[in-house]
Chains A and B, each alone.
Chain A
Amino acid sequence: MNIFRLTGDLSHLAAIIILLLKIWKTRSCAGISGKSQLLFALVFTTRYLDLFTSFISLYNTSMKLIYVACSYATVYLIYMKFKATYDGNHDTFRVEFLVVPVGGLSFLVNHDFSPLEILWTFSIYLESVAILPQLFMISKTGEAETITTHYLFFLGLYRALYLINWIWRYYFEGFFDLIAVVAGVVQTILYCDFFYLYVTKVLKGKKLSLPA
């Protein structure tokens, strides 16, 4: 465990908590893509099946449980409790265009052709693109609430910190996982445009709105 990995995990946790709190406090999930949140719930479910097969550390197990529980709570708030505030008309990204190719790719390119390994690979590939429905929704409405941009910032920062963590681990531990690294690079690149807007607009106190 190095500092980049730890801050990456905490950044990921911060993002998840920010989103949950935003929905809970405002009693509304306006501007949030339920589809992205469904995909993240699917990502955590398929990745953390090893909770049943192996124990790594108390930290590892508790973080996994927290991530899974929070992602399901978020989906519940969006699709059940605050369904009336869900902006489904703008959440029109076709998730099958992500899930089907990612499913196929995880069968073709994986470390080991076994059910758990394929599901883990699927979750890695899916996570890298799971934010697309949310970014699509923002580009469609042309704006995002500031709190939503904080959520996206921490979510993007998490994978960027993981990239530094992987460089660190490659040099100091000889650890290298090509699938995770390539997916992580793709995932981080998807946030670059948003990072630019976040720094140039949100951090200067302006609302994130895109030119028409």
Chain B
Amino acid sequence: KIILKQKDEL
């Protein structure tokens, strides 16, 4: 599945 809006990156 495609996950959007994951803010674990810098």
Distance between B7 CB and nearest chain A CB, rounded to angstroms: 6
Q: How large is the interface on B (under 10, 10 to 19, 20 to 34, 35 or more residues)?
A: 10 to 19
Q: Is the CB of A177 within 8 A of B8?
A: no
Q: B interface, by DSSP: helix, strand, loop or mixed? A: loop
- Asked if A60 is at the interface of the complex by the 8 Å CB criterion, the answer is yes
Looking across the interface, which residue of chain A has its beta carbon closest to that of B8? Answer: A56
Q: Is the CB of B6 within 8 A of A177?
A: yes
Q: Is the CB of B5 within 8 A of A177?
A: yes
Across the interface, which residues of B come within 8 angstroms of A105, CB to CB? none
Q: Is the CB of A175 within 8 A of B3?
A: yes
- Asked if A112 is at the interface of the complex by the 8 Å CB criterion, the answer is yes
Per-residue contact bits, chain A 54-66, to B (CB 8 Å; 1 contact, 0 not): 1011001001100
Partner of A56, one of B1, B5, B7: B7
Across the interface, which residues of A come within 8 angstroms of B5, CB to CB? 111-112, 117, 177
Contact residues of A between 160 and 188, Cβ < 8 Å to B: 162, 173-178, 180
- Asked if A120 is at the interface of the complex by the 8 Å CB criterion, the answer is yes
B-to-A contact residues, CB < 8 Å:
1-10
18 chain-A/chain-B pairs, Cβ below 8 angstroms: A9-B10, A50-B7, A56-B7, A57-B8, A64-B10, A67-B10, A112-B5, A120-B7, A173-B3, A174-B1, A175-B2, A175-B6, A176-B3, A176-B4, A177-B4, A177-B6, A178-B4, A180-B9
